[in-house]
């Protein structure tokens, strides 16, 4: 990470970028932020998918369907419905995620779509100490979501400028 981005993060900024995805009409969103809490503390929120309707802004409902061990950690199947602005309908997905934990070093949740209102829904959370400070978390959030409904281009811009920073702010308040 370059020094300029590190300084922006150190001052509390939410850094948002996009990456083109081959064959997709929508880009992948990449978000970096720092949360003033340990990665383990932030992980307690990320790991509890069934509570996302309370802990993640924009989530209408969330259910953990199953959880079990896999070679890399735990596999978590979840059903999540996100709120969409009127007149669009809310979007629901069932995803499989792998949760991996290296205590005090790295916490990760990577998911992929199983079924739902999307052609693509893939992403992840990665939590690590920021600048080797165990009391501060560098959050890396990636999302590539392509719904089965047409969403106006202006709404994509709103998501990047307003909704995603609110998601991070909401997460900061939870810890």
Encode pLDDT of 53-98 as tens digits: 999 988 999 999 999 999 989 999 999 999 988 888 999 999 999 9
Name residues whose C-beta falls within 8 Å of residue 150's C-beta, 6 or more positions apart in sequence: none
Domain locations in the chain? 3-174
**pTM listed for this prediction:** 0.94
Domain 3-174 classification at class level: alpha beta
Encode pLDDT of 98-139 as tens digits: 999 999 899 999 999 999 999 999 999 999 999 999 999 999
Question: Nearest to residue 42, comparing CAs of 126, 166, 144?
Answer: 126
């Amino acid at each position: 990470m370059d020094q300029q981005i590190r300084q922006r993060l150190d001052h509390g900024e939410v850094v948002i970028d996009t990456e083109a995805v081959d064959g997709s009409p929508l880009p992948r969103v990449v978000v970096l932020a720092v949360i003033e809490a340990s990665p383990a503390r932030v992980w307690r929120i990320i790991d509890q998918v069934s509570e996302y309707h309370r802990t993640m802004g924009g989530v209408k409902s969330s259910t953990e369907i199953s959880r079990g061990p896999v070679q890399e950690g735990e596999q978590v199947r979840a059903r999540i419905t996100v709120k969409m602005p009127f007149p669009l309908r809310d979007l629901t997905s069932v995803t499989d995620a792998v949760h991996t934990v290296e205590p005090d070093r790295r916490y990760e949740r990577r998911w992929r779509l199983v079924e739902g209102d999307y052609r693509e829904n893939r992403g992840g959370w990665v939590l690590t100490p920021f600048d080797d400070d165990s009391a501060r978390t560098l959050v890396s959030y990636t999302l590539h979501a392509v719904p089965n409904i047409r969403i106006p281009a202006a709404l994509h811009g709103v998501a990047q400028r307003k909704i995603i920073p609110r998601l991070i702010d909401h997460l900061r308040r939870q810890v």
